[in-house]
Structures are given as structure tokens and as C-alpha cells.
Structure 1
Amino acid sequence: MEFIQNELNEIKELLLKLNTQQKEFFTIEEASEYLSISKSALYKKTKAKEIAFYQPGGKKIYFKREDIDNWILKGQVESTDSTSLEIEEYLTRNLKS
């Protein structure tokens, strides 16, 4: 019986994650789970205005999934290969003799 209960709990958790992945707007709890950071860390990012959020009525905070995804993409760190290529292209363009 315990095995069946564990399986049901696992299925329930997977269904909740799937539901979260399909939502357009997240609560603070859902957004922190989506980003795999604590709610506290997410609150700090909203306070510092590092991440876009919505606060209708001035109380509860919501996040648009697209905004979160864009915020993640803005944090891209270039690889050393792409940086070297950019330097070579720059030098080729600007050091024509």
C-alpha cells in the first residue's frame, strides 16, 4: 500500500509541474520553483527590480513566463570561443591598412 501511495504522490507532483509549465502567469511560489531559487531570493530580485513582475492591486506578485524566460536569456555568458571570434572580426574590420 505504501508503494502505491508513493507512486500516486510522484504522479501528482509530475502533473503539478506539467501544469506550471503550461501557465502564462506564475505566482511567487511557481516562479521560484520554475527558476529553482528560493522565494526569498526572488523577492530580493523584485525589490531590486532585476526581474519584471506584476502586482495588480498592490499585494500579490505575479510573473509572466515570457518575462522570466527573457530574463534568463539576458544573463547569457559568452564562451571564450565566441569572444575570440568577435575579437578577430573586430580587428579584421578596423585594422585595414
Structure 2
Amino acid sequence: MNKQNLSLEETINIIKLRGFANTFEASIYLSLSIHYVRRLAREKELPSYKPKGKCIYFKVEDLENYLLSNNRISNKNIMEKTVKYLSYN
């Protein structure tokens, strides 16, 4: 199975079924360049695994956690929290 011939959806489905991804697949999953994914792994901003010291692998759960990190709260949520806080104080 040639990875270049798989559609984006097929690649993501394979990654999710397996539960892990190599650097190329992780770059597709995160919509980032391979170079940047390697950099994130090197700087330990994205957890990675090197079973035999050569290939880098990433858990799907870690990729999803990276995507969901640094949540930005909407103005609506800020207003709701402000009103709730002020109503109790």
C-alpha cells in the first residue's frame, strides 16, 4: 500500500485504527510540515517514541491533545463567566 496514493481521509482513518503514527502520518494528521513535527518532538513539545532509536512514532491521543492545547476562550464564554462571577460576589 503506497502512502502517496491514499486519500487524506484514508490516511487519517488508518492512523486512528492503529492508534499511532509515524512522522509523515503525524504531519498529515496535524496539517504541519514533517520538519516542524520533528522539531516539536525534538523540543519535547509533542510526546514521541523511538523504539529502536531511528523512527519516531506518535500516539493518536498525544496528537489530539496537541491539537486541543492552548484553548482560546470565545468572547461569549468570557462574558458568561464574568456574569456568573459577578452574580456570586
TM over 0.5: yes
Match status 1:75 vs 2:70:
yes
Structure showing the higher helix proportion among its residues: 1
Within the candidate set 22, 30, 38, 1:27 is matched to 22
Where 1:26 maps in the other structure, the secondary structure is strand
Shift of 1:58: 2.5
Fraction of identical pairs, as percent: 30
Greater relative CO, 1 or 2 (CA 8 Å, sep 6+): 2
**2:6 is matched with which residue?**
13
Query: Structure 1 runs of 4+ off > 3 angstroms?
Result: none
CA distance in 2, matches of 1:87, 1:65: 35
Structure whose CA Rg is larger? 1
Following TM superposition, by how much is the alpha carbon of 1:61 offset from its aligned partner in structure 2, in angstroms?
Answer: 0.8
**Structure 2, unaligned runs of 5 or more:** none
Q: What code does the residue aligned with 2:6 have?
A: E
When the two structures are superposed, what TM-score results if normalisation uses the length of structure 1?
0.72
- 1:51 maps to 46
TM-score between both structures, scaled by the size of structure 2 = 0.78
Q: How many residues in Structure 1 have an aligned counterpart in Structure 2?
A: 83
Q: What is the root-mean-square deviation of aligned Cα atoms in Å? A: 1.9
Distance (Å, rounded) in 1 between the aligned partners of 2:15 and 2:44:
23
Could you say what secondary structure the match of 2:6 adopts? helix
